[in-house]
Amino acid sequence: MIIFLKRIIERPLYFLQLENYELLRYWRLLFKKMTHPGTTVWRQDLVWTAKMRAVFILSIVFQALAASAIAAATAWWLGLVCFLLFFLFLPIFITLGCIILWPIDLLFKSIIINRARRKLGDLPELKIVAVAGSYGKTTMKEALDAVLAAKYKTLVTPENINTPLGIARLILKKLDADTHIFIVEMGEYYRGDIRVICRLVRPDVAVVTGINEAHLERLKNLGTTTATIFEVVENANPNALVVLNADDVIVHQKADQFLGGRPAVWYSARSTQPCAFQIVNSSFDPNGGGQQFDILEKENLVGHFSVSLLAEYAAGVAVASLIVGRHFNIEVEKCTRALAVLKSVPHRLQLLRSPSDVLVVDDSYNGNPSGVAEAIKVLAKFKDRRKIFLTPGLVEMGLRSETVHKKIGEELAEVANLVILIKNSVTPIIAESLIAKGFAKESILWFNTAPEAHQALATILKPHDVILFQNDWGDNYL
């Protein structure tokens, strides 16, 4: 009974946390969970933050007030019964709690952000390096930190801290007067998100990694996505260094609309124009040792680079790091040494080895179309190994979902030997696309949940296989 009551109470609070307290999305999720319950096993735990405790206390207060009104009008025992029954309608009281808490929450956020802004005002020599994009932000951020830390004391936003409040808290807690460069990942869900972050940390260097359908469900269309990401350029310091990805079609085509006449420096993994650098003599270690390549500038050798990163875009990341490193007067040799010891970001094309000579490529935190395309390219590079691809598909693709997942199936059909799919609303599109391209139906395995698929791998994997885990859905997706 206690476990049941705990579940009744925590379930709606957990969903609220998954949707970042956005009430409209919260109620949509509740409705989906009522009509499509799915698994009862949660992938994460409810985190009892101060905000979550406040919401819960307020919801219980409203519940008690409603029950007290009934008791006053009828009998005390009926009020008690109603109080207990009201737990079945807890989402309503939670919503009321969120509404009442909203102005207080907004006030506290404003206080924290203003304190962080004042602290930054006391550090006029601090340089801000901002990274924005639909994909590739984390890898770029870590590579820039590795290079810049070779000469300067740096602070970098950790993990998924990329909102104004998260960045402000980091500033107050970690930033000190000895820090030379603050490297900031800027996240975007809605138009204006990056502009707001730039009001707090105005970039001296703005890097745009790429633009695609990530978060399209919220941003609605690629035009809005493009304008949102380029807010990092529009709101940078007037003399800021702007570094753009020439390999990204949208960035390449739309940059002039947002540069406002300011110059940009381009990077590329494919020697794409207008990038002034060329990648030559590339080699990939099929046993997972990473890759090596030379970077040329106007046919002159800049340096030989060796990185443990698996993806082709690693060469572009090296070029971007070199450009930013030069901007801060860091020698090429220091750049090459820093990138040589750079490790893969956990769960982003991270290579793991098993005792049975199975190579595992963990890409479970990559949830965008460009990331999937790159993951499939990486899988293709492992010659003479059976190639297995496990995925639940992508979320928040909006109206582009069918097109995106059809393309995934088409690309997988050319590379994979076995595809493992998690049953949900999008993986049937991948399966249909695979079969349409001639992929054997019996080489597609289905599982109800990711944990079930993972448990079955002991009987599926063979020595010398390579398996790529692509993306992982949270409990707020079906």
**pLDDT digit string, tens, across residues 378-401:** 999 988 899 999 999 887 677 778
Largest pairwise CA distance in the chain: 89
pLDDT, residue 432, reads 95
Are 270 and 279 in contact, with CB atoms under 8 Å apart? yes
Q: How far apart (Å, rounded) are the C-alpha atoms in residues 49 and 397?
A: 30
pLDDT, residue 478, reads 39
Query: Is 124-340's fold the same as 350-470's?
Result: no
pLDDT, residue 1, reads 45
Q: How far apart (Å, rounded) are the C-alpha atoms in residues 344 and 351?
A: 8
Pick from 184, 215, 212, 219: nearest CA to 199: 184
Q: How far apart (Å, rounded) are the C-alpha atoms in residues 462 and 178?
A: 52
Pick the CATH number of 124-340 from 3.40.1190.10, 3.40.50.720, 3.40.50.510, 3.30.470.160: 3.40.1190.10
pLDDT, residue 427, reads 93
pLDDT, residue 25, reads 87
The CATH code that applies to domain 350-470 is 3.90.190.20
Are 357 and 447 in contact, with CB atoms under 8 Å apart? no
Where does residue 230 rank: exposed (0-12), middle (13-18), buried (19+ CB within 10 A)? buried
Alpha carbon separation from 232 to 129, 146, 226, 335, 458 (Å, rounded) = 10, 22, 11, 25, 46
**CA geometry: angle at 465 spanning 464 and 471, to 5°?**
145
Are 420 and 453 in contact, with CB atoms under 8 Å apart? yes
> What are the boundaries of each domain within the chain?
2-108, 124-340, 350-470
Q: How far apart (Å, rounded) are the C-alpha atoms in residues 149 and 143?
A: 10
pLDDT, residue 388, reads 96
pLDDT, residue 86, reads 79
Where does residue 104 rank: exposed (0-12), middle (13-18), buried (19+ CB within 10 A)? exposed
pLDDT, residue 102, reads 93
Amino acid sitting at position 11:
R
Cα 171 from chain centre: 21
- Write the pLDDT tens digit of every residue in 126-135: 999 999 998 8
Residues of the chain where predicted confidence (pLDDT) is lower than 50: 1, 474-478
Amino acid sitting at position 248:
D
Strands 387-391 and 290-297: unpaired
The pTM score is: 0.84
pLDDT, residue 409, reads 94
pLDDT, residue 188, reads 85
